[in-house]
Chain A
Amino acid sequence: MSAAPKPKRHRGRKRNIFPALCMLVTGMVLLFIGSAIFAIVAGGISHFGEAISSEEVLFSLRMSVTTSSISTVICLLLSLPTAYALSHVAFPGKRLAEILMELTLSLPYILLGFALLLIFSSPLGKALKEAGFAVVFSPAGIVFAQMIVNLPFAIRMMRTAFAGVNPRIEFVAQTLGAMPWDVFRTIIVPMCRNQIISAFVLTWARGMGEFGATLMLVGVTRMKTETLPGSIYLSISTGNTETAMATAMIMLLVSAFTLAVANVLDRPTGASRVGRAGKGLGLRRMRKCGECEGKR
């Protein structure tokens, strides 16, 4: 009896170059961004205590947190219905609205800020100022700049989330008597809850870091329209690099926190429900079945 031919070894694993490419890119990111972060931390850590207790840095932190929180809430309120309309409703001018949103996303922020400055320096802007709504060189302008920069981003994130909802689920809800507002309120929003919160957190983080449009519209006036990025800019302009690095460290901490929150929240709703329900009978039963399989 002749020996059976030796089966050929499957070489698919060896040919898969994607993990290697991923590691290469990760290494590059670690080298460039990681080293920059390390430089900031190394240079700023000795001045961190001094910076965090400085009245100016605290003012800029408060200004950034307040303005980005307000602009994020406005962005959320405007982006929820807009994203729903763009993802679910056919209406005249929809394509134009989509193009405008994409265009705003692709424009340099400094250009957006300049456009806002032109608008609010026009007779219309002056009339608004006389009516008590001053935008140029005022904290309201910071909110406005952050909102204009972040709104298309928020809409895009929400739209992607809404588009991921199975249309059959929405149709079933309608057959059960739900009106479009009910479907939005009871099906779409709860199903996309994690993505909405994640969009909220990321929009807020972007608002915290917004600089280009803010600089054009309101400038950076010490202790008046000074945000965290503005504070770094002013510190560097005056040669105070250590304070700039310490302020940058605060921004890094804010970014790390938001990234962690967004990562925790940006999970599919179904999976998180499995987890929650799994605390009860369900998952225990599944584990039991797994044990049985093992015994067999």
Chain B
Amino acid sequence: MRGKAMSGGSIEIRDMVARRGSFLLRVDELHIEPHEIFAIVGETGAGKTVLLEAIAGAFPLEAGSILLDGKDIRCLPVQQRRLGIVYQDHALFPHMTVAENIGYGLRMARVPKAEAARRVEEMLDLFSIRHIADRYPGIISGGEGQRAALARALVMQPEILLLDEPFSALDPTTKKRMYETLRDVHGRFRCTVVFVTHDFNEACCLGHRAGIILDGALQAVCPADELFTREFCPQVMAFLGRG
């Protein structure tokens, strides 16, 4: 499958305040370029997933704005945001087989059956999950589930791919294989990738840039390979183990 010709996928966040229950997340300014791989790192409960879901528009913002390709997400229904999201628990539809999961978006878009079947097969081959095509999510492994969820998101050729701790539950070997898959997918689909992690090495290894979230606020943004060399405020330095 070739990458799409369109060149979208920028994310711009301005003076954002997002609330989830009593938790508040503040991001004054963040600009993620098209085709960039952006890592969000931070402690557990710092607000990483809240930021990811805010970008996806899963809930209304308390204040500020998020622009996807210059368009305010409030003006864009979730179905038209051209983004894919993969959760840590994969959120696969348990009543559908892996192939049906991957083809769900195509079915919703009323893509002709033959064309949909062809695209699903391409994804099954791309992610090496043809052998589990007819299985239900309840009996596939974590790595297979991750690949199935990625395939389901990417079959729609999104401009933005949001990944919530995608590799945290995988063993080191599968993790390495998934890193390769993600790089391959990024090269092939040319989409912007935002992923949440609390593994600094993962952020350095995969990301172009990284944002550090601590105590409900985006504290710093830097090139991913400078996470361990650049000077930050004492709080961030302490979090990175350099304090």
Chain A residues engaging chain B, CB cutoff 8 angstroms:
166, 168-169, 171-179, 182, 186-187, 190-191, 193, 269-271, 273-274, 276-278, 280-283, 286
Q: How far is the CA of A177 from the CA of B79 in the complex (A)?
A: 4
Q: How far is the CA of A271 from the CA of B156 in the complex (A)?
A: 29
Whether B2 sits at the interface, judged by CB under 8 Å, is no
Contacts of A190 in B (CB 8 A): 95
Q: A178-B79, A178-B108, A193-B95 are in contact. Are A273 and B89 (CB under 8 A)?
A: no
Chain A residue with Cβ nearest B84 = A175
Whether B6 sits at the interface, judged by CB under 8 Å, is no
A76 to nearest B CB, angstroms?
19
B156 near A171 (CB under 8 angstroms)?
A: no
Q: How far is the CA of A276 from the CA of B105 in the complex (A)?
A: 24
B152 near A271 (CB under 8 angstroms)?
A: no
B94 near A269 (CB under 8 angstroms)?
A: yes
Report the stretch among B37-45, B132-140, B170-178, B193-201 that lies at the interface: B132-140
Contacts of B79 in A (CB 8 A): 174-175, 177-179
Q: What would be 22 A-B contacts, judged by CB atoms less than 8 Å apart?
A: A169-B91, A169-B93, A172-B91, A173-B104, A175-B79, A175-B84, A175-B85, A176-B156, A177-B109, A177-B156, A178-B104, A270-B94, A270-B137, A270-B138, A273-B95, A274-B136, A274-B138, A276-B136, A277-B97, A277-B136, A278-B139, A282-B139
Q: A175-B81, A176-B108, A178-B79 are in contact. Are A286 and B94 (CB under 8 A)?
A: no
Whether B54 sits at the interface, judged by CB under 8 Å, is no
Chain A residue with Cβ nearest B158 = A175
Contacts of A281 in B (CB 8 A): 135
Q: How far is the CA of A283 from the CA of B140 in the complex (A)?
A: 10
Q: A191-B95, A269-B95, A273-B95 are in contact. Are A174 and B78 (CB under 8 A)?
A: yes
Q: How far is the CA of A190 from the CA of B78 in the complex (A)?
A: 22
- 0 or 1 for each of B131-151: is its CB under 8 Å from A? (1 = yes): 000111111100000000000
Contacts of A179 in B (CB 8 A): 79
Whether B116 sits at the interface, judged by CB under 8 Å, is no
- 0 or 1 for each of B112-137: is its CB under 8 Å from A? (1 = yes): 00000000000000000000001111
Whether B83 sits at the interface, judged by CB under 8 Å, is yes
Q: How far is the CA of A191 from the CA of B138 in the complex (A)?
A: 13
Whether B233 sits at the interface, judged by CB under 8 Å, is no
Chain B residues engaging chain A, CB cutoff 8 angstroms:
56, 58, 78-79, 81, 83-85, 87, 89, 91-95, 97, 104-105, 108-109, 134-140, 152-153, 156, 158
Contacts of B97 in A (CB 8 A): 277
A176 near B104 (CB under 8 angstroms)?
A: yes
Partner of B85, one of A171, A186, A282: A171
Q: How far is the CA of A178 from the CA of B152 in the complex (A)?
A: 13
Chain B residue with Cβ nearest A177 = B108
- Other A-B pairs beyond A176-B152, A178-B79, 8, CB < 8 Å: A177-B105, A179-B79, A190-B95, A191-B94, A270-B138, A273-B137, A277-B97, A277-B139
A271 to nearest B CB, angstroms?
7
Chain B residue with Cβ nearest A176 = B105
Contacts of A176 in B (CB 8 A): 84, 104-105, 108, 152-153, 156
Q: A175-B56, A177-B109 are in contact. Are A187 and B134 (CB under 8 A)?
A: no
Q: How far is the CA of A286 from the CA of B139 in the complex (A)?
A: 9
A86 to nearest B CB, angstroms?
19
Contacts of B139 in A (CB 8 A): 274, 277-278, 282-283, 286
A273 near B78 (CB under 8 angstroms)?
A: no
A277 near B91 (CB under 8 angstroms)?
A: no
Contacts of B105 in A (CB 8 A): 176-177
Q: How far is the CA of A182 from the CA of B84 in the complex (A)?
A: 18
Q: How far is the CA of A105 from the CA of B56 in the complex (A)?
A: 39
A134 to nearest B CB, angstroms?
44
Q: How far is the CA of A281 from the CA of B93 in the complex (A)?
A: 20
A172 near B94 (CB under 8 angstroms)?
A: no
Chain A residue with Cβ nearest B83 = A175
Partner of A282, one of B78, B108, B135, B156: B135
A280 to nearest B CB, angstroms?
7
Chain A residue with Cβ nearest B160 = A175
Q: How far is the CA of A172 from the CA of B161 in the complex (A)?
A: 12
B93 near A187 (CB under 8 angstroms)?
A: yes
Q: How far is the CA of A173 from the CA of B96 in the complex (A)?
A: 12
Contacts of A283 in B (CB 8 A): 139
Most buried by B among A190, A277, A281: A277
Chain A residue with Cβ nearest B89 = A168
Contacts of A173 in B (CB 8 A): 93, 104, 108
